[in-house]
Amino acid sequence: MLLGILFGLVNLAVAETGLNGWLRYARLPSAETLHSELPVHVLVLNSTETSPVYTAGSEVAQGIGSIFGKKCSVGYSSGYIPPDNATVIVGTIKQYASSGGLINGIPELEADGFWLNISGSEVQILGQNERGTLYGAFEYLSLLAQGNTSQIAYASNPDAPIRWINQWDNLQGGGTHGSVERGYGGPSIFFENGTVKSNLTRAAQYARLLASIGINAVVVNNVNANESMLTAPIMDGLKRIADVFRPYGVQLGISLYFASPQALGELDTFDPLDGAVIEWWHNRTDQIYKRIPDFAGYLVKANSEGQPGPLTYNRTLAEGANLFARALQPYGGVVMFRAFVYDSQNLNESYWKDDRANAAVQFFNGLDGQFEDNVVIQVKYGPIDFQVREPTSPLFAHLQQTSSAIELEITQEYLGQQCHLVYLPPLWKTVLDFDMRVDSQPSLVRGIVSGQRFNRTLGGYAGVANVGTNQTWLGSHLAMSNLYAFGRLAWNPRLDPASILQDWIRLTFNSDPTVLDTITSMSMESWPTYENYTGNLGIQTLTDILYAHYGPNPASQDNNPWGQWTRADANSIGMDRTVWNGTGFAGQYPPQVAVMYENISTTPDDLLLWFHHVPYTQHLQSGQTVIQHFYDAHYAGAANAQTFPSRWATLKSKIDDQRYEEVLFRLTYQAGHSIVWRDAINNFYFNLSNVPDQAGRVENHPYRIEAESMDLSGYTPYTVSPWNVASGGVAVVTTSNTTVGTASTTLSSITSGTYDVAVNYFDMAIGRSHWQVYLNDQLIGQWIGDSDLTLGHSPSNYIDGHSATRITFPGIQIQKGDVLKIAGTPDGIEPAPLDYISILPEGVVD
Ligand code: GCV
């Protein structure tokens, strides 16, 4: 069956590509019966074609036509509202009042807020501003598309003014397109050949999707920025992007390269206090605003991971941020200044007290209150870097006279790169709902970033999305729930992740109860499942941090200056971040939180190894030991991932074929890769600690046959690095680039019956090898190693945890004594690597 999926994808009848995301406006099954409750006309108040109000009117008419098959006309009024039944009135509150509309009873709205009043076929959508009107229109359509035509009247206001998307797009690097750093949905939709694309259709479609979830700005280029962003041709191109964004109320921002004046050869310094540098930035900012009057502002990564910044000149981070802030002030622009500042070269693990997690609070120490009012400090949710679990960044508690925004990573860099299903809002909520207890008072992170807790007027949310030209935007249909939920939470962080998800499912697929229940349960289980088979108890995602950030490589965390250390040795594991004996990080929190993390007994199990260095035999609050928890969690996580494909399969015929097959392909891959993860981590810690698994599972695989122990011809054993990503540490590779290798075995100790035959192999990015499986010389399956292309995760050129994968041929009849043979044909320098086969009785996973 899987073979059919692998080869059948291209032949499926064209169905839905995912391009419309959650804005499909699919015809409702109950459409006809609802016709009488629907408007027939949209009246748009005072607007020009580039205004979001105009867009709102067209969207409503188009949506009603598409969802209900009912024609809805659009009219435009410049000052008078004709009496008319069955009409949707669309405009700003101000336009409505000046057209004679009665606004008594409508609550005061905040910037970008809206009033939505649905009374049968009479509907008012009134925004505080033009953008708010469009948000109201999308809210109305979201209700309709979910079959909700109830009478309602309410005002909705965003929790925070900053609701920005960051794209890490490069001007070049993805063939003719720009590449996207940590992007898994293809190359840039904004850049090609070192400049802005001529065709910006996708940019406009993106703005439409984002407007529908309340996003009001996009920073279009990588925080590792290029100075040429500020050259005239690129600024002209940026103007074109801003022009296609504008009808959707989405403003454009850019990331800056701090040393631009020098890098462009125009000055010999970039010292932020130098008069010529100050003038240079003012001048460039003027040039941008001449082209883009509603330009949102700058995003700045400074003195981090090799980027220049104010510290290069011994200036403070505040002096650096204020340089840009002052240039933007005349225009109302904002500087998003990143708190991700650390020294990645000089951290030394042999010093017990060195700790990258301390960096942000240390670098910003004493600067609170020194930033201009239009500076917002953009803080990653945790102190390291978007790991599967981190404590909340303590910096949020230190910025009381400075606005802050939380940076969330929608693109799943350390969380499976869109090849593993991970619905992120439950993770995000652990941070947004975290109470910092500043001055022993309630201080939820969401209250801090919205500005409410410390009375700031700016602040909010930055989501690193990194969509690409792939029709699914993020590379995976199910990953789009994360983008959708980011916008919804930025608007209202009190929402429940499951209920946001269900809106998304109804809009993206349909309201069938099986569809709703299946996708909800899988998605809500997905983060704990992934955490279970990757990195537990706050040890971080145990991925390869020196290469692709994708597959397992626990050893890569330590013995380098990057500071994502685990300090695992033969007896113990974890970072001691206590004040009394460790790096002191726990003391960066306000006292009530600090005391909780300082003590092992009050530290939650899921962050134990983040804060404490303990023996593997340390008992958790759950009663289990650390090491046994590792083993059990990895088995539980991988076991749950095995259920995803069959649960998804219950949706066949309930959703369109294309999306059904594409999702099934990814979930099947995830099930296989989760076993690679499980074994790599368990083997690594078993080998290190020598503590056996109480359940006897680790390094005990009764259903496996190692390739290196089969009869080999044209294949030769190969020692894999890291050893733990291959079963037994060894794979086989062809003896040359042109030799077909075979590995055969006689199944003499098997009971005749029906089995699933799983084959673990390595799909590197350097070739398209071809494998065939024979039973007694009869072909039972074959595949080409090109899933690295289809999947879009960071490619690997090596035999490692990123390329390790599994394919399963279910329901194979095997007789005792049958001969199983794998033939591997290399391609280029990819030597058809093979790890092992498993002959699995029904229901067994190994
Ligand atoms: C854009 C991590 C990522 C980098 C990213 C950086 C950042 O280190 O791996 O790709 O750079 O964070 O957020 O600046």
Q: CB of 520 closer than 6 A to ligand 1?
A: no
- pLDDT, averaged in runs of 10, over the chain (846 residues): 37 70 94 88 90 97 96 87 85 93 93 96 96 98 95 97 98 88 97 96 98 98 97 98 98 98 98 98 98 98 96 97 98 98 89 96 97 98 98 98 98 98 98 98 98 96 98 98 98 98 98 98 98 98 96 97 97 98 98 98 98 98 97 98 98 96 98 98 98 97 97 98 97 97 97 97 96 97 90 96 97 97 97 98 90
Q: Which of 170, 182, 393, 541 to mutate to test the pocket of ligand 1 (most atoms within 8 A of CB)?
A: 182
Q: What is the DSSP string of 41-79?
A: EEEEES--TTSHHHHHHHHHHHHHHHHH----EEEEESS
Q: Kindly give the distance from the C-alpha atom of residue 181 to the centroid of ligand 1, in angstroms, as a whole number.
A: 8
Closest CA to 359 of 561, 164, 538: 561
Q: How many CA atoms lie within 13 A of 637 on its CB side?
A: 30
Whether residue 302 contacts residue 308, with contact meaning beta carbons closer than 8 Å, is answered with yes
Distance CA 732, CA 710 (A): 10
Class of domain 509-575+613-698: alpha beta
What phi and psi values does residue 796 have, to the nearest 5 degrees?
A: -125, 135
Distance CA 503, CA 481 (A): 10
Q: Which two tokens stand for residue 186?
A: 């293809």
Residue 232 CB-density burial (10 A; 0-12 exposed, 13-18 middle, 19+ buried): exposed
Bridge partners of residue 542, in order along the sequence: none
Class of domain 2-156: alpha beta
Q: Which phi-psi region, left, alpha or beta, contains residue 447 (left: φ > 0; alpha: ψ -120 to 50)? A: alpha
Q: Kindly give the distance from the C-alpha atom of residue 458 to the centroid of ligand 1, in angstroms, as a whole number.
A: 25
Q: Kindly give the distance from the C-alpha atom of residue 179 to the centroid of ligand 1, in angstroms, as a whole number.
A: 14
Distance CA 846, CA 676 (A): 10
Q: Are strands 41-45 and 73-77 parallel, antiparallel or unpaired?
A: parallel
The ligand 1 atom at the shortest distance from the C-alpha of residue 223 is 1
The beta-strand segments (E) located in 683-800 are 704-706, 711-713, 715-719, 730-734, 741-746, 753-762, 770-775, 778-784
Closest CA to 759 of 750, 771, 769, 768: 771
Q: Kindly give the distance from the C-alpha atom of residue 223 to the centroid of ligand 1, in angstroms, as a whole number.
A: 8
Spatial strand order of the sheet with 73-77 comes to: 73-77, 41-45, 87-92, 122-127, 114-119, 152-156
Distance CA 147, CA 512 (A): 12
Whether residue 564 contacts residue 384, with contact meaning beta carbons closer than 8 Å, is answered with yes
Distance CA 60, CA 141 (A): 7
Q: How many helices and strands, by DSSP H and E, does the chain display?
A: 21, 31
The ligand 1 atom at the shortest distance from the C-alpha of residue 182 is 10
pLDDT in tens, 43-99: 999 778 899 999 999 999 999 999 999 999 999 987 777 777 889 999 999 999 998
pLDDT at 839: 97
Q: Kindly give the distance from the C-alpha atom of residue 700 to the centroid of ligand 1, in angstroms, as a whole number.
A: 38
Q: Going by C-beta distance under 8 Å and a sequence separation of 6 or more, which residues neighbour residue 297?
A: 217, 253, 328, 333, 334, 335, 336, 374
Distance CA 454, CA 447 (A): 8
Whether residue 829 contacts residue 797, with contact meaning beta carbons closer than 8 Å, is answered with no
Q: Kindly give the distance from the C-alpha atom of residue 158 to the centroid of ligand 1, in angstroms, as a whole number.
A: 28
User: Looking at ligand 1, which residue's alpha carbon is closest to its atom 8?
Assistant: 385
pLDDT at 11: 35
Distance CA 616, CA 570 (A): 9
Q: Going by C-beta distance under 8 Å and a sequence separation of 6 or more, which residues neighbour residue 37?
A: 120, 121, 149
The ligand 1 atom at the shortest distance from the C-alpha of residue 181 is 10
Whether residue 286 contacts residue 339, with contact meaning beta carbons closer than 8 Å, is answered with no
The segment(s) of the chain belonging to CATH 3.90.1330.10 are: 509-575+613-698
| Cα–Cα distance list, 473 to 50, 456, 768 (Å) | 25, 34, 25
Q: Which of 166, 179, 181 to mutate to test the pocket of ligand 1 (most atoms within 8 A of CB)?
A: 181
Q: CB of 547 closer than 6 A to ligand 1?
A: no
Residue type, 565: W
User: Looking at ligand 1, which residue's alpha carbon is closest to its atom 12?
Assistant: 385
Q: Going by C-beta distance under 8 Å and a sequence separation of 6 or more, which residues neighbour residue 623?
A: none
The ligand 1 atom at the shortest distance from the C-alpha of residue 304 is 14
Whether residue 620 contacts residue 627, with contact meaning beta carbons closer than 8 Å, is answered with no
Distance CA 297, CA 232 (A): 17
Q: Kindly give the distance from the C-alpha atom of residue 317 to the centroid of ligand 1, in angstroms, as a whole number.
A: 19
Distance CA 81, CA 87 (A): 11
Q: Are strands 704-706 and 834-841 parallel, antiparallel or unpaired?
A: antiparallel
Bridge partners of residue 782, in order along the sequence: 772
Q: CB of 223 closer than 6 A to ligand 1?
A: yes
The ligand 1 atom at the shortest distance from the C-alpha of residue 549 is 9
Whether residue 475 contacts residue 185, with contact meaning beta carbons closer than 8 Å, is answered with yes
Residue the block writes with tokens 């891959």: 669
pLDDT at 15: 66
Domain 162-495 adopts which CATH fold? TIM Barrel (3.20.20)
User: Looking at ligand 1, which residue's alpha carbon is closest to its atom 2?
Assistant: 385
Q: Kindly give the distance from the C-alpha atom of residue 127 to the centroid of ligand 1, in angstroms, as a whole number.
A: 37
- Map residue 374 onto helix, strand or coil: coil
Q: Kindly give the distance from the C-alpha atom of residue 415 to the centroid of ligand 1, in angstroms, as a whole number.
A: 14
Residue type, 708: E
Q: CB of 180 closer than 6 A to ligand 1?
A: no
What phi and psi values does residue 460 have, to the nearest 5 degrees?
A: 150, -125
Q: Which of 224, 300, 336 to mutate to test the pocket of ligand 1 (most atoms within 8 A of CB)?
A: 224
Q: CB of 511 closer than 6 A to ligand 1?
A: no
Q: Which of 166, 167, 168 to mutate to test the pocket of ligand 1 (most atoms within 8 A of CB)?
A: 168
Distance CA 586, CA 611 (A): 7
Q: Kindly give the distance from the C-alpha atom of residue 462 to the centroid of ligand 1, in angstroms, as a whole number.
A: 14
Q: Which run of H or of E encompasses 164?
A: strand 162-166
| Cα–Cα distance list, 471 to 19, 102, 189, 522, 648 (Å) | 5, 44, 11, 23, 21
Q: CB of 181 closer than 6 A to ligand 1?
A: yes
Q: CB of 414 closer than 6 A to ligand 1?
A: no
The ligand 1 atom at the shortest distance from the C-alpha of residue 222 is 1
Q: Which of 340, 409, 547, 560 to mutate to test the pocket of ligand 1 (most atoms within 8 A of CB)?
A: 340
Q: CB of 182 closer than 6 A to ligand 1?
A: yes
Q: CB of 385 closer than 6 A to ligand 1?
A: yes
Q: Which two tokens stand for residue 52?
A: 């979001």
Q: Kindly give the distance from the C-alpha atom of residue 300 to the centroid of ligand 1, in angstroms, as a whole number.
A: 13
Q: CB of 340 closer than 6 A to ligand 1?
A: yes
The segment(s) of the chain belonging to CATH 2.60.120.260 are: 704-841
Q: Going by C-beta distance under 8 Å and a sequence separation of 6 or more, which residues neighbour residue 702?
A: 846
Contacts 24+ apart (CB under 8 A), 343-352: 344/304, 344/305, 344/306, 344/561, 344/562, 344/563, 345/561, 346/561, 347/561, 347/562, 347/563, 348/561, 349/558, 349/559, 349/560, 349/565, 349/567, 352/576, 352/582, 352/583
What phi and psi values does residue 326 have, to the nearest 5 degrees?
A: -70, -35
The ligand 1 atom at the shortest distance from the C-alpha of residue 413 is 9
Q: Which two tokens stand for residue 446?
A: 């969401």
The ligand 1 atom at the shortest distance from the C-alpha of residue 224 is 1
Q: CB of 656 closer than 6 A to ligand 1?
A: no
Q: CB of 224 closer than 6 A to ligand 1?
A: yes
Q: Which run of H or of E encompasses 426?
A: helix 425-432
3-state helix, strand, coil in the chain (%, to 5): 35, 20, 45
Tell me which residues are annotated as active site: 305, 385, 413
Q: CB of 301 closer than 6 A to ligand 1?
A: yes
Whether residue 469 contacts residue 177, with contact meaning beta carbons closer than 8 Å, is answered with yes
Q: Which run of H or of E encompasses 462?
A: strand 460-464
The segment(s) of the chain belonging to CATH 3.20.20.80 are: 162-495
What phi and psi values does residue 759 have, to the nearest 5 degrees?
A: -120, 120
Bridge partners of residue 336, in order along the sequence: 299, 376
Give the single-character DSSP code of 161: S
Distance CA 603, CA 442 (A): 20
User: Looking at ligand 1, which residue's alpha carbon is closest to its atom 14?
Assistant: 223
Whether residue 661 contacts residue 12, with contact meaning beta carbons closer than 8 Å, is answered with yes
Question: At the fourth CATH level, which superfamily is domain 704-841?
Answer: Galactose-binding domain-like (2.60.120.260)
Q: Kindly give the distance from the C-alpha atom of residue 533 to the centroid of ligand 1, in angstroms, as a whole number.
A: 24
Q: CB of 575 closer than 6 A to ligand 1?
A: no
**Whether the predicted model's global pTM rises above the 0.95 cut:** yes
pLDDT at 6: 38
Q: Kindly give the distance from the C-alpha atom of residue 153 to the centroid of ligand 1, in angstroms, as a whole number.
A: 44
Q: Kindly give the distance from the C-alpha atom of residue 407 to the centroid of ligand 1, in angstroms, as a whole number.
A: 12
Spatial strand order of the sheet with 195-196 comes to: 169-174, 177-180, 191-192, 195-196
- Map residue 97 onto helix, strand or coil: helix
The ligand 1 atom at the shortest distance from the C-alpha of residue 380 is 13
Q: CB of 386 closer than 6 A to ligand 1?
A: no
Longest dimension (CA), the chain: 89
The segment(s) of the chain belonging to CATH 3.30.379.10 are: 2-156
Q: CB of 380 closer than 6 A to ligand 1?
A: no
Residue the block writes with tokens 């008319």: 84
